[in-house]
């Protein structure tokens, strides 16, 4: 009974959500596209002809946006799930945290990446501290990997949750990059503890 009530609430929330409705009109696979659009508008990240790595890409809305704005560039999308094809993208199916998947990404690159972005999150347990820690670990792993493949003036963008690992992630960002900002887009739900860390210029 409780489960039915939760799923009914979720359906009602989706119906009322302006960004869910907008994503259907604009042809994006998820409302999360608007978070990336806001990040790009604020920090001026994307341009034509660059190389982008999208970690935790399914269902593909971030790769869709990148495909629109990165004309004649390269976009590598990585996720555990297979996605419906997106123009101008190369898809790798597998667990990003595994060494062979990281090697696969590197082997496909014949240049340094200009943007590494991650919307990775664990399947939520409902226990906010645990969710925050586990998602934080994914962010740190993506950030450490970016050191190996990102250009000197590259951007790293990742979802993070406010919680016990927040300061640790910001500190790691400052150790790897010269500029670090934390930003919560308007399209991020008010009741969500998510924010995004935007790092620029490798040390």
User: What are the tokens at 168?
Assistant: 């640790």
CA neighbor of 158 nearest in space, from 142, 174, 177, 178: 142
At CB < 8 A and 24+ separation, what contacts does 24-33 make? Answer: 27/64, 28/61, 28/64, 28/65, 29/59, 29/60, 29/61, 29/64, 29/84, 30/59, 30/60, 30/61, 31/61, 31/187, 32/61, 32/62, 32/119, 33/61, 33/62, 33/64, 33/65
Q: Which residues are catalytic?
A: 159
The side-by-side arrangement of strands in the sheet containing 113-118 is 89-93, 74-79, 51-55, 113-118, 150-161, 194-202, 177-183
Phi, psi of 19 (to 5 degrees): -75, -30
As to burial, measured by CB atoms within 10 angstroms (0-12 exposed, 13-18 middle, 19+ buried), residue 183 is: middle
How many other C-beta atoms lie within 10 A of the C-beta of residue 19?
Answer: 21
């Amino acid at each position: 009974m409780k489960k039915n009530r939760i799923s009914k609430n979720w359906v009602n929330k989706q119906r009322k959500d302006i960004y869910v409705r907008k994503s259907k009109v604009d042809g994006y696979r998820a409302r999360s596209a608007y978070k990336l659009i806001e990040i790009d508008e604020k920090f001026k990240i994307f341009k034509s002809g660059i190389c982008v790595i999208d970690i935790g890409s399914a269902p593909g809305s971030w790769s869709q946006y990148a495909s629109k704005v990165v004309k004649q560039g390269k976009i590598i999308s990585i996720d555990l799930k297979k996605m419906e094809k997106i123009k101008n993208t190369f898809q790798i199916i597998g667990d990003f945290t595994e060494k062979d998947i990281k090697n696969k990404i590197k082997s496909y690159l014949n240049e340094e990446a200009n943007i590494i972005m991650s919307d990775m999150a664990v399947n939520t347990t409902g226990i906010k501290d645990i969710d925050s820690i586990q998602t934080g670990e994914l962010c740190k792993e993506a950030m450490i990997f970016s050191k190996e493949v990102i250009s000197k003036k590259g951007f790293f963008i990742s979802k993070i949750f406010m919680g016990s690992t927040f300061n640790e992630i910001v500190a790691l960002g400052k150790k790897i990059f010269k500029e670090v900002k934390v930003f919560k887009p308007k399209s991020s739900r008010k009741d969500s503890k998510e924010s995004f860390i935007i790092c620029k210029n490798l040390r």
